[in-house]
Amino acid sequence: MRNFLGTLMGSILRVVYNIVSGIGTEPTHVSYYAIAVIITSIIFKLLLLPININQSKSSKKMNEIQPKLKEIQTKYKNDPQTMQVKMQQLYKDNNYNPASGCLVLLIQFPIILAFFAVFREPAKYAFTEPGFYEAMNKSFLWIANLENSDPYLWGMPLLAALTTYLQTKTMPTAQNVDPQTQATQKTMNYFLPVMIFISARSFAAGLALYWIISNLFTIVQQLITNRSLSKVKEEK
């Protein structure tokens, strides 16, 4: 599955590269390959956009019914069977599927792994002709070769961590949850960017560039979705 999806994603990257490289003279500090990585990252996010929007709506719905859900759990804590019946009825009345969030992750996970594989080994999945990838210009701003890690800690690693943190801030926040859950979520919001920063120091810069563009797209998409859902709630 990973090789199949990797080859598919790699084909998209190659097609984009072929189109970009045929436009005109290659910029000095932003190679055709870097431009292709950016455009392909955006195409990838557009393909997943319906799934991500559905996930945002599901999270928003869960936050809305959370107080009633907590009330049921408290009221019927000594009667698990009745609790389950009441919870299922609550989900049905609010048109909410508790498994939808997991389904979204299951769909996205192999695709994300495949895309990581493409940017980790572009010569295997996208530029398969012998010597073609090695001979390509892979510069991007201060980075001479996107195949290597960023030589500066304040560059791609910091941007990858910063955009990851900003993305967590745009996600819907669970309301009326216990303090322990809130503390755990807050810790994860800081822990994840730190882990991304550490990992990006050894990433190929092309992979880090993909991560940054993907995060920026998600941030904009989430802000638009949050605004749209708020308008719908106000109209209701």
pLDDT tens digits, residue range 199-209? 888 888 888 89
* Contact between 193 and 164 (Cβ < 8 Å): yes
Distance of CA 115 to CAs 50, 106, 121, Å? 18, 15, 10
Residue whose entry in the numeric block shows the structure tokens 């970009």? 20
CA angle 79, 84, 85 (to 5 degrees): 100
Better-scored residue on pLDDT, 149 or 104: 149
Task: Give the lowest-confidence range in 33-42, 54-63, 94-103.
Answer: 94-103
What pLDDT is attached to residue 88? 84
In this prediction, residues 90-110 reach a mean pLDDT of 71
**8-state DSSP, 114:** H
CA angle 167, 170, 171 (to 5 degrees): 95
165-200 pLDDT, tens digit per residue, is 998 888 766 555 556 666 777 777 788 888 899 988
Query: Which residues, 6+ apart, have CB-to-CB distance to 88 below 8 Å?
Result: none
The pTM (predicted TM-score) of the whole model is 0.77
* Contact between 78 and 32 (Cβ < 8 Å): no
Question: CA-CA distance, 211 to 86, in Å (whole number)?
Answer: 42
CA angle 97, 41, 50 (to 5 degrees): 25
Domain range annotation of the chain: 2-235
In this prediction, residues 10-27 reach a mean pLDDT of 89
Indicate whether 97 pLDDT > 80.
no
Indicate whether 236 pLDDT > 70.
no
Better-scored residue on pLDDT, 90 or 229: 90
